[in-house]
Structures are given as C-alpha cells and as structure tokens.
Structure 1
Amino acid sequence: MTDTSDTRPAEGETKTPPQSRLHHLMRYLPLVAPFLLWAVPCWVIVHTGQHWPLPVTLVGTALFVLGLVGMPLAMARGHGRRQQDRAAIIGDTLLGTSWVLFTWSVLLGLLLRLALAAAGVGESQDRARIVTWAVLGVTVVLLAWGHLEARRVPRVRRLDVQLPRLGPGLDGMRVVLITDTHYGPLDRARWSARVCETVNALEADLVCHTGDIADGTAERRRAQAAPLATVRATRARVYVTGNHEYYSEAQGWIDLMDELGWEPLRNRHLLLERGGDTLVVAGVDDVTAESSGLAGHRADLARALTGADPHLPVLLLAHQPKFIDPAAAAGIDLQLSGHTHGGQIWPFHHLVRIDQPTLAGLSHHGSRTLLYTSRGTGFWGPPFRLFAPSEITLLVLRSPHPPTST
C-alpha cells in the first residue's frame, strides 16, 4: 500500500453540486409534516364514520394530539442543544410510528374502504371500523418487523463487479463496504461488534466505510465505534466523511477513525498493488463539507487524483450517490456510496429519489463508470426498516482478463 496523496490545492477543483429540490422542500416540511402525520391517521381511525362511544373518541383523539405535541418536543430535546438520548429515542420512535400510521391510513383508508363498499360489506359504520382495525393491525405488525430488521446484524450481499481496466493481478480482489452505521441514542456497541465479526469472516482485501458513522460527537459515541478497530483487511481500511459527520464535529470523527487504524481519505488516494497490477483507491469529503465552514473541507476530486496515473483503474469512495456526475466525467471506474438507506421506511424512497440519482444497487453512468449504492449498515433516527433491509456488501472485483491457472 502506497500513499500518494498531495496536500497542495489543485486546479479544476470539483464544485459542490447545487442545492436540490428536496433541500428547498425540506424548508417547509417541519411546519406541516407533524400535523399531517398525526391528523390524517386520527381522522381515518377515529372520526370517519366509526361512531365510537364518546369516551373512545376522546381518548383516541387525545392520543393523537399527544403524539402531535410530544414528537417535536422530544426531537428538539433529543437532537437540539440538550442532546438528551432518551428524548431522542422517544422522538425518533414517534416519528417512525407516525409515518407508518400515515402511510397505511391513506392506503387502507382509501383502498380497503372502496373494496368493502364494492363488495357490499355491511353498513358504512361497519366498513369504517374494519378499516380502523386493519390500519392498526398492519401498523403494529410492520413496526414490530421493521424494528427487528433495523436492530439485526445486516445480511451480506455479494456481487461480482467487472472493471474493464482492472489488471489480471487484481482479479478476485475482495472489497467489503459498510456505511451509515449511525451510532446514536440507542446503544449499539454489541451490534457494532457483531457487524465487525461478520466483516472479518469475509476475509477482505479492502474494507471501506463511506461515512455517516454516527449521530453525535466522537467522544459521545466512542464506545459504539470502538469495535471498528477490530476490523481486518489484508491491504487497507479506508473511510470518507458523510453529511452527518458535519453535524457533529467532523474532525473529531476523522481523528478517531485514524486512531482506530482506518485511513481517512480526505481528497486523497492510495495505491493497492497485487500481482504486478495497481488499483487507485481514492476518497472525497462529503458534498456538504464545504458548507460546514470547516477550513479545508470540501469535495475535491481533482485533488484526490493528483499524482495518480490516469491509465490505472480507480475505485472512488464518495458518501452520496449524487457525486456520480463529476466521477463519471473524470472516468472513474467504480464509485462506492451509501446515504440513501434504500429509503429505510417505505415509501420514503420516493422522496430520496428526488435528491439522489440511485436508491440502491449497481448502476452504469457515462461511458465506463459504475456506481454501487449501499442501503446502509445501520439506520438513522426511527429504529425501523421497512422493505429496505440493511446490508454489508462484498464486492469481488473482476478483470476481463483473469490470470490463467498453471
């Protein structure tokens, strides 16, 4: 492993992509989203023709009002200046619960009511109460399943990736990708250790973490991140920042990962050599780094590749898939990213697709660039994953001209 990074500023610095439509939309969501997330289920479950006894109606309405008021208060205490983990857990759980309630209140509230009416099932009150119990039942089942999915050690997803410029000496190189571990208010130190054990069983040549290690400072989440020191790779362990590092003292996380034996690739590259062939492994800061105000933090692909032989294949680590445009323009062979969580809680993936070019999996861009987007290893915020399972990814790099056996 050879370090060929260059600390001098380079011309042609990669520009940070402009703010997307999702960022503009997000400005208004905090004002209306909590009301909609709680008011719509309240209306569907309690007030649309069920004619519950008055005590039931009052208690049901009070519970939804409590959620409407309590969720933003708990989130503010948990994720604001006070950083109270217990409040964050309550607020995040209420957020996930309200999203699932809202989704299935809309879907079942409309579709099931129409289906029951078309089938001539009972009176309107009977149909309304069937919808209520169906929404509540589906919500409970999905939340229980989604919580188990979020807390489990991710399944390993394995795929072969052929890179046309990869030399035969590098054929079969094993690259393990973890990302978006999001160590946070829920203590997942044991989960972290089990993830690292799973990674070690894959006998990787290169292990990559593409950011969003945690929600909170390195000092606060050190115990959960500490098992990362046990990860083994025959060639290198490399890391790039995600957007969440820039919410909580990014330099502290860079320093901790360095302390744990990982190589932070801040607009730098390494050379991995095997069998007479060489792979450039480069990394860039997250695209939000420049707006963080931290001196020297920005996504700079030109600087990351300074000094690299342009004829060598390049594997690039970039937290967000949206960085694929400059990567494809530069002729990168393979970009590894995370960030999307695959949507995490269906159908949130529709909003993610407004902001990102891909949601998950392998995709082709430009004349030769491949992008692999991981659904993430952990979860952010609400402790649920619905129809977007987490993953540890094993990518086996393949050369179009593998070495011949003798």
Structure 2
Amino acid sequence: MNRRSFLKKALGSFLTIVGLSGGSYYYAREIEPSLLQISNETILNTKIPNEFNHFKIVQFSDTHIGFNYTLEQLQTLVSKINEQNPDLIVFTGDLVDEPHTYNWNEKLVDILGGLDAPHGKYWIYGNHDHGGYGTDIVRNVMDKANFKLLKNEHATISVNNAKITLAGVDDLMLGRPNLDTALNNADSNLFTLLLAHEPDFADTTKHFPIDVQLSGHSHGGQVRFPFIGHLYTPAYAEKYVQGKHILHNEKLHLYVNRGIGTTRLPYRFLCKPELHVFTLTNN
C-alpha cells in the first residue's frame, strides 16, 4: 500500500472512529483546539551578539480565522503573546482561512494592533493569504496593524549597535519565493533567521547562509495517533511536520510550529495549537 492509499484509509478509519465515539468527537472538536501549548525554545548560536542574549522572539502561525476560530479567540491569543513580553513578534502566515468569503472589519486590525514588541512585528504570506484573491486584503490589514511584510526581503534588527538579520520569503505554493532576493545585500556574517511558511522549504534554505528557519503550514498534522503519528499534512509540509529539525551538518535549525487554528476539518487530536517562544543566547 503506497502512502497515498494509506492516508486515505487511515483518514477514513479516523472519521469512522470519531463518528462512533461521541467522547472523542467532542474532545477533538471542542476541547483540544482551545488547549494552547506555549513551547519555549532556546536558540544557541555563537554568532548571536552579547547584546541579544535573552532576546525573546514569539512566533504564531496559521490562525485560519473564520474556520472555527473567532476574533474573541484571537483577542485571548494576543493577551497570551503580550504576557510573554516579547522583544520581537513574527507571524508565519495563513491569517484567515478563506479571504474571499471572510467578513473583513476593523476589529481584526484593532486586535492585531494590540500586539506589542519593542523591536517590531513581522509577517510573511501563507498559501491561504494569497488564496481567494486575498493577497492585497491581508496585506492591508497587517499594514494597518503595524506588521512589516517580509516578501523576499530582509530587515536588520539592532540592539545597542549590535545586529542580527531577519529574512522572509513569499509563499511557496501560491507565491514566488526567492532567497537570493531576500538576502540581497545582507551581511552573511550576522546571525540570520528566516521566516518561510512551508517547512519543507528548508531543503532549499540549507544551501544559504541561514542559521534558523521558522515555519508553520503543517498544523502538526492536526490529527495524530500514538505509534502512527499524523494522518495527513499539506504539500511542502510532508517531510518536516512539527518540532525541531537539524539540517546540513547542524548548520541550519528548523522549527515547525503546529499553528493556532484548524482548516479543512475542525478537529485537533493529540496535536494542540502552539505558540513558540524563542530565547536567543550565545553561551
């Protein structure tokens, strides 16, 4: 049985189990999607300047607002993020599930605008942001909320004249990612962190002077089982599904965020929504 056939059969079996088990269905739909896990990670790299020791970066991803994820829930998430006292906030794509049908309003801008980080808020496009003719709409909302888009470009983050590089690429599925353009005129000697929506892009990233890649897109599989793992992940999230991965002789560290919301199916099972809190250090 090939992987495609296995996934179809496994997903069918899961839906059958869910249909037969009211308790499992209730937990997967009503409880686990709200059980936010805050994952704390230390990023150790000798290229990180002393001035950036204990510098805190919060990553959130894949909110998919509108598909069983409400603005009220987003407001709670914003409070959780601000409680972490981040120095920098990054969003790695898929703000709204279906941009062409979503009822856009200023409340979303106000909520996102409430996120606070002294060294800025940055974001990249996900496939759902480009989908449904949402490209310009999503950008307009994020601009109003004071998020800086990194679309095949980079920014220099400074603390007392010490610097690191934060780069971002366009979505791999519906955009045109270009790392050469993103790193144009960037100092390759600086510690460099890349935002890329699809985690499997790391197989391209590893050939560039990137130290860390932060991604989302996979939702961690959204539904997982003991010994089996995830049943399905979208394209370009099939190799690296969740957690930390070390590539290219330990030169590149990839972190895959499980995301906040859900898509396609309104369930999470053994795959809690995730907020990443990264602390930088050089020792």
TM-score for both structures, normalised by structure 2: 0.88
Whether 1:283 aligns to 2:168 is: yes
Looking at structure 2, the residues matched to 264 and 334 of structure 1 have their Cα atoms a distance apart, in angstroms, of 19
Provide Cα deviations, 1:120-158, integer angstroms capped at 9, x if missing partner.
xxxxxxxxxxxxxxx82xx21111111234542622111
Deviates more, 1:160-169 or 1:311-320: 160-169
Gaps of 5+ in 1: 1-20, 38-95, 106-134, 291-297, 401-406
Name the aligned partner's letter for residue 15 of structure 2.
L
Q: How does 1:81-230 map to 2 (within 5 A)?
A: 100-102=14-16, 104=17, 136=20, 139-152=21-34, 154-186=36-68, 188-217=70-99, 220-222=103-105, 225-226=108-109, 227-230=111-114
**Letter of the aligned partner of 1:283 in structure 2?**
G
Which of residues 305, 317, 325 in structure 1 aligns to 2:203?
A: 325
Give, in angstroms, the shift of residue 171 of structure 1.
Answer: 1.1
Q: How many residues align?
A: 273
Match among 212, 229, 236 for residue 334 of structure 1: 212
Cα distance between partner residues in 2 of 1:353 and 1:252: 24
| Counterpart contact for 2:93–2:127, Cα < 8 Å | yes
2:183 to 305, 326, 330: 305
Q: Which has the higher helix share?
A: 1
Query: In 2, Cα distance between the equivalents of 1:276 and 1:101?
Result: 55
Matched, 1:396 2:274: no
CA RMSD of aligned residues (A): 2.6
Pair 1:385 & 2:268 matched = yes
Q: Are the aligned partners of 2:121 and 2:147 in contact in 1 as well (CA < 8 Å)?
A: yes
Taking structure 1 as reference, are residues 189 and 353 closer, same or farther at Cα in structure 2, changes over 3 Å only?
closer
* Secondary structure at 1:393 match in 2: strand
Separation in structure 1 between the aligned mates of residue 32 and residue 144 of structure 2, nearest angstrom: 28
User: By how many angstroms is 1:177 displaced?
Assistant: 0.5
Whether 2:140 is the aligned partner of 1:255: answer: yes
1:80-100 Cα shifts (integer Å, max 9, x gaps): xxxxxxxxxxxxxxxx9x663
Of structures 1 and 2, the one scoring higher in RCO (CA 8 A, sep 6+) is 2
Larger Rg belongs to:
1
Partner residue in 2 for 1:126: none
| CA 299–99 in structure 1, closer or farther in 2 if over 3 Å, else same | farther
Instruction: Judge which range, 332-341 or 157-166, deviates more.
Output: 157-166
Cα distance between partner residues in 1 of 2:267 and 2:30? 8
Identity %: 25
After TM superposition, the score normalised by the length of structure 1 is 0.62
Q: How many Å separate the matches in 2 of 1:99 and 1:246? A: 33
Q: Is the 8 A contact 1:353 1:359 kept in 2?
A: no
Deviation readout 1:41-63 (Å, 9 max, x if unpaired): xxxxxxxxxxxxxxxxxxxxxxx
Task: Kindly provide the CA deviation profile for residues 327-385 of structure 1, in whole angstroms up to 9, marking residues without a partner as x.
Answer: 11102100000011111012572433985221111110113110010111111132211
Over 3 Å counting, the alpha-carbon distance change for 1:310 and 1:163 in structure 2 is same
For the residue of structure 2 that corresponds to 1:351, the secondary structure is coil
* Residues 53-72 of structure 1: pairs in structure 2 closer than 5 A: none
Contact 1:238–1:264 (8 Å) recurs in 2 = yes
C-alpha spacing 1:199/1:247, structure 2 compared with 1 (3 Å): same
Instruction: Give the AA of the match of 1:281.
Output: L
Is the 8 Å Cα contact of residues 68 and 262 (structure 2) preserved in structure 1?
no
Cα distance change of structure 1 residues 399 and 275 upon mapping to structure 2, 3 Å threshold: farther
Partner of 1:266: 151
Q: Secondary structure of 2:232's partner?
A: helix
Q: How has the CA–CA distance of structure 1 residues 187 and 324 changed in structure 2, closer, same or farther, with 3 Å as cutoff?
A: closer
- Counterpart CA distance in 2 for 1:371 and 1:262 is 23
- Structure 2 CA distance for partners of 1:332 and 1:187, relative to 1, 3 Å: closer
SS in structure 1 at match of 2:103: helix
Q: Bigger shift: 353-362 or 159-168?
A: 353-362
